[in-house]
Chains A and B, each alone.
Chain A
């Protein structure tokens, strides 16, 4: 008996040791393979002087491979336009470039999980689009530090140079000074979220909307007050997104952070080149006092911060409220759902505040593409660069972006002499040609989120209705762009430490923000709040952030 349990003990321990050794040696093999490829990249600095390329590429040149090639790619399948093998999109890309995709199709809701799984198990396809957060994948070593290779991408370089993207790209730098994602790039920031108002009601209430582009939050308050007196309804604004969007766009004008944008509560002082904690300052007190005023005077519904989006929308559609937060796409959607057929929806320019008439949207970057190490391993250095030049054409050249968005000239759209694009009348997209039966995305595959993003302002405006074009130009003409804050480039350990402080700290700040706004906490206790925030680590965080910034200043150009 004893012999058996001893024997079993020995067998089990040997098995455990063997499996651990197997796992470790597996990892070492993987790392070993990466090294030679990286040293090659360093020596391979010259580009188009190489002889006998078997493909055409270049700035504003259509990529075309002499041999047909296939690249594996992840595809996020949106339920509003489900994947079809016979989409014109695929044949159009093949005609121009001789490239086909080997797609790993995943439903949009499962996309992030699948991406994590495939990358972490070493199984990732070469091209991984729709990447919003690439930070988690850096440490695993499965993603190529693409900043080492962007020199080979002419259209990407052109966009960076012409649009002055260097500052924006700094936000993507990781601790090792490289970046790991090819971000989507826009020439100018978008309109973003703002307040959708009932223009008809506001005008009947005697509000002068001709000057709304220069409104501050105080002007907006005065206008809403008039609407409340005119209509006699319980509330004027009952918000969706649990108030997070409203708090976010208003916080910008007060110099603080809240709602969707609360992040780590920091702001960067460009005069002192230091980080500061914004959410326990006098600015913050003014910010919460403003919204507290809206609540106590019955202009804003306190349930804005707790109710489900559907409940808020329902009140707006019925005509019980007259202001709701949203972006222009939502406005187009809501216009069709209003119960009152005479309702006119209008998106006001985001009001300004104590810090000025600041533009809310600063980011010209959006979700982007990661390239997996499997591409380097399987294709070799030259094949890898060829693939990068294809990516460069499809996602960063005007020709590629136009194809992804609008399709094939003559078949789905027409272009006039000055380059303005008109969608064919029998196809509908984004509210254009609403009575048409063919859908640009569902039937043809164009205008989909995986390929169609980024580009010149002209391209961006081309898919907007007149109302949206007007909104965006109001924003761009009447609001001051903000200077970008540099990233806090901590090592993984430092980032972990910062996270540990930030999470409970910001949870406390969010809770107190709502409490001050809804009146659950009295304004007289603000000083106690300030001390509590310090006790929760805001000073420590600020100190660490500034230390890290001091170390990485030179990399960032400060």
Chain B
């Protein structure tokens, strides 16, 4: 189909890069923000602006909260449609769990409840979730949105498209295309070393965007390759579900054999029995970790079949000081608190996988690396954005002359996914500070603001791209940069006014980095957007000269 390997790779890079680039830049951007998800959470929910806490006492604080937890109302409603007979008044919990990290002031509690009587799925279940302030056991309002971990992060992994996991599949496709774009990009350009050091900002736009595209692509190549690849392997069981289909008998047999070897009951006995002291189990787990020279805190607590004779408790060590997310699990018999099994060192294959997964999810404590991740991710965004600009620059005059709308739409989509995405991300923060504190379903209104702002920015970009018919740049870029700058400065100001946690306080009086760093980043975004807007306006005031020199240079270059 293509005369040479390089032309094939060039076609792949251009067209897959353009079409899926609009998704990739979203995934890269919200992935970069997710590195600081807990910090956005603190910014968005001022009640939770206090120091990170270890897991509180189970016996005294968490046990009564778990006992009062109920399934999510919407999940319960959906489950009623899947069963033949009406559901019982209360559903039996399958398991309870609590998760925390070294950056969490509040602790998340999770529960799964069995849904009996589904003819299609004997293991049907629904979920429950609450967030607890570990200082006093108070529950957080569940209609507040943790913007970092409950909105930006799900956007990164599934674009908020939950129907049949479609979002995960789209993100997976984008990750595969990212890998292919990196490979094909290297094949096209060849001068890998030279491009490391080449950026000619004074050349005409097409040349400098290509320089910047190559530079950002090459500098962070291993970083981008790693994240796209591990993003796929983390969800491999979803993309290639062999263990739930063709190899289900083998997988089930292996899981049952493993449970038996570890003395872990595979199913509930159906006989009620009280749970022994979980705090004592936690002390024993900490004692054993310390004995192995790995003193640490609990990262994840899991109680299977609570209240059943076959209940067991698993305590995982939080991975703050190592790359692997969690580890060193110890299983206890629920009714007695006796140690059933202490997990040995993972196998070599499992270790490699834990390391790669842990390096992607980055829950360990390393602030320098955390910032490096952010900038690495933003470099990826810059690479994709300059790719769009190059695509448009290369074609816009030809398309304008021929009356083609292609470059115009490509540019409008680029505006939407570059500045428009920033507008949306800032709009949700501004809405978070402006909406009345006691508004019911406050979080839902914040989400609606986000989507509405993004939709509006698309409409604006499509409406303002008219000058491109004459081969001129779209003013939408300049205008949306102004909106970005305004929103970013407004968000910082609103945080100071509505919560009293202005930068002077969070930096100098009662130092609180999670909020201070979000504010500082917002200021940086505002300044950057204002700077770009200024340059775009300068350029717009001399369009004639610019177009002429650019044409001359292009003629010269080609």
A and B pair up: no
Q: Which residues of A contact B (CB under 8 A)?
A: none
Q: Which residues of B contact A (CB under 8 A)?
A: none
